[in-house]
Amino acid sequence: MAKGNPLQEQLLKAGLVKKSKVSEVAREQIKARHGKGPAAPSEIQREAERARAEKAERDRALAAERKAQAHAAELRAQARQIIEDRKVPRSGDSEYRFTADGAIRTLLIDADLRKKLSTGALVIARLDERYELLPRAAADKVRERDAGLIVLDHGQDAGAEPSVATSEDDAYYAQFKVPDDLIW
């Protein structure tokens, strides 16, 4: 007899089991160890496999979310870099007021910058707690990456046709004269 399980040997000596039964159990154990037998998955194995699949799906979803967040952060950083690199130097002592975050903000600019802002050649963009002037091309690049950084853009709706109500309103308000020197 080959070296086997000490418990099996004791049971054989005591006469509680037959040698054929011991060898049959030993063959089943060997098959189970080597995976040659078609073992049906038990309920525990199916549950473990389902749990592994759920965990893998959660891991994939988390990885996709992290990747999306990293991509968004990269786009924000690119937009901030464009604003830093392409900002137009401001000069002048004329106040230009605009609304941002529900509050009225003020920039000191000269007449040339004011004209460019009103025609849409320049755009106001937010950079942290300050506001910078950007040329139209740079503003379009920033808008592609993070549209929330663009605060004021008078040229954005240049291609849109005026609605009927707007032309009626314009005709009505044409009767009221606005002084040329009015600056808001």
Residues 24 and 84 in one domain: no
Residues 87 and 106 in one domain: yes
Residues 5 and 59 in one domain: no
* pLDDT at 183 (0 to 100): 67
Alpha carbon distance 149, 84 (integer Å): 12
Q: How many CA atoms lie within 13 A of 127 on its CB side?
A: 20
Alpha carbon distance 113, 134 (integer Å): 11
Let me know how long the chain is.
Answer: 184
- DSSP labels for 59-115? HHHHHHHHHHHHHHHHHHHHHHHHHHHHPBPP--SEEEEEEETTEEEEEEE-HHHHH
- Give pLDDT < 70 ranges for the chain: 1-4, 35-40, 157-165, 182-184
Q: Tell me: the pLDDT tens digits for 31-71?
A: 877 765 455 678 888 889 999 999 999 999 999 999 999 99
List residues bridging with 123 in a β-sheet: 134
Q: Measured in whole angstroms, how far is the alpha carbon of residue 20 from the centre of its chain?
A: 67
* pLDDT at 68 (0 to 100): 95
What residues make up the domain containing 17? 1-34
pTM above 0.75, yes or no: no
Residues 48 and 30 in one domain: no
CB-CB contact of 17 with 11 (8 Å): yes
**How crowded is residue 153: how many other Cβ atoms within 10 Å of its Cβ?**
20
Residues 46 and 22 in one domain: no
* pLDDT at 163 (0 to 100): 47
Q: How many domains does the chain have?
A: 2
CA-nearest of 153, 127, 152, 147 to 75 is 147
Residues 68 and 22 in one domain: no
* pLDDT at 39 (0 to 100): 55
Residues 96 and 22 in one domain: no
